[in-house]
Amino acid sequence: MSRATSFRFQAGNSFFHRLDPITRLVWVLGVSLLAFGAYIAWLQIVLALAVLATALLLARIPLRDVLRGTWLFGVACISFCLIQTFTLPGHRIAFRILGHPIYAESADYALASALRIYTIILSSLIFVRTTDPRELAIGLVTQAHMPYRIAYALFIALRIVPTIEEEIRTIRAAQAVRGVGRARGIGGRFAEARRYAIPLLVGSLRRASTMVMSMEARAFGAYPTRSFVDQPHMRPSGIAVCAVMLLLVVVWYTALGLGYVHTVYIVSPT
Q: Which residues bind other proteins (CB under 8 A)?
A: 1-3, 9, 11, 132-134, 156, 159, 163, 170-171, 173-181, 195, 198-199, 202-203, 206-207, 210-223, 225-230
CB of 53 to other proteins, least distance (A): 25
CB nearer other proteins, residue 41 or residue 66: 66
Nearest CB to other proteins, comparing residues 7 and 103? 7
Shortest separation between residue 23's beta carbon and other proteins, angstroms: 20
| Residue 81 CB, nearest approach to other proteins (Å) | 30
What angle (nearest 5°) sits at the alpha carbon of residue 45, between those of residues 39 and 47? Answer: 85
Tell me the closest approach of the beta carbon of residue 202 to other proteins, in angstroms.
Answer: 5
Phi and psi angles of residue 206, each rounded to the nearest 5 degrees, phi first: -65, -45
Q: Indicate the residue among 163 and 237 with the shorter CB distance to other proteins.
A: 163
Helix 21-36 and helix 236-258, axial crossing angle in degrees, nearest 10: 20
Residue nearer to other proteins on the CB measure, 125 or 242: 125
SS3 annotation, 168-215? HHHHHHHHHCCCCCCCCHHHHHHHHHHHHHHHHHHHHHHHHHHHHHHH
What is the closest distance, in whole angstroms, from the C-beta atom of residue 1 to other proteins in the complex? 6
Cα–chain center distance at 165: 17
Q: How far apart are CA 128 and CA 197, in angstroms?
A: 27
Q: Which is nearer to other proteins, 6 or 23 (CB)?
A: 6
Residue 9 CA, distance from chain mean position: 13
